[in-house]
Amino acid sequence: MLVRIPSLLTPEEVTHCRGLLSRSDWVDGKVTAGGQSAKAKHNLQIPENAPAAREMGELILGKLGRNELFTSASLAMKVFPPLFNRYDAGMSFDTHIDNAIRFMPASLTGGASVRVRTDMSCTVFLTNPADYDGGELVVLDTFGAHQVKLPAGDMVLYSASSRHHVTAVTRGSRWSSFFWVQSMVRDEAARQHLFELDTAIQSLRKSQGDTVEVVRLTGLYHNLLRRWADS
Ligand code: NI
């Protein structure tokens, strides 16, 4: 599954984030990579507990919570606190797979440490495509290679089970936020069926209203969710 979520952030919010990022300290991106992906990863990040990261993370989590497309596509149970990275000219992230489980330390949760199963990966673009060359996110799945390069403020949500890479930036600098979602529905096919069904029901509701059939299909959706979801 690969879903584009347009305008998660407004242009003003992107400008605000870019201002905070431009005043942040950047460290080697290998700090959050596992052994195999550390070898593939050549970029910069801001430390996960930096105040700017926390402020922007709260902003993004708030926007996600109000975004119907994100809710429908992810059926999110937990969202890892957003991280922020940049690729300057010459930087890239070779093909890798994201760790299946990530730990949110107590310093990030404000309580006990929490494990997050990474069902889906997310990237929020914070640089407009005209401002850099290269830097495409390429997601590999059974349907082939999907190149993703979106306007600033847009987000892509894709299966964390897929291998992916970021091609080398050859001009400018690509800034983004990235994080992971643990879904209530662990099974990827079931999650996709629910998204497809929900999308069709929402479209039917708009064109036909809450007819008897629409209410029956809505019931079917919730009964499947009840069957497949953990809470
Ligand atoms: Ni990755």
Q: Which CATH number is 207's domain given?
A: 4.10.860
User: Ligand 1 centre from 165 Cα, in Å?
Assistant: 7
Rounded Cα gap, residues 126 and 43, in angstroms: 15
105 in the same domain as 202? no
Rounded Cα gap, residues 118 and 202, in angstroms: 27
What φ, ψ does residue 158 adopt, rounded to 5°?
-145, 160
218 in the same domain as 166? no
Which residues touch 34 (CB under 8 Å, ≥6 apart)? 99
The per-residue pLDDT for 35 is 75
206 in the same domain as 112? no
Check which CATH number belongs to the domain holding 47 and give it.
Answer: 2.60.120.620
143 in the same domain as 36? yes
**pLDDT band per the 50, 70, 90 thresholds, residue 201:** very high
82 in the same domain as 98? yes
User: Ligand 1 centre from 56 Cα, in Å?
Assistant: 20
128 in the same domain as 201? no
Residue identified by tokens 């979801």 is 229
User: Ligand 1 centre from 137 Cα, in Å?
Assistant: 9
On the CB side of 21, CA atoms within 13 Å amount to 23
198 in the same domain as 128? no
Q: Domain of residue 212: give its range.
A: 188-228
**pTM for the structure as a whole:** 0.94
DSSP for residue 160: T
Rounded Cα gap, residues 192 and 143, in angstroms: 15
Give the closest residue to 157 by CA, choosing from 102, 50, 62, 82.
Answer: 82
pLDDT digits (tens, 9 = 90+) for 29-52: 888 777 777 888 899 999 988 999
192 in the same domain as 162? no
Q: Is the pLDDT of residue 160 over 80?
A: yes
User: Ligand 1 centre from 37 Cα, in Å?
Assistant: 8
Rounded Cα gap, residues 216 and 208, in angstroms: 14
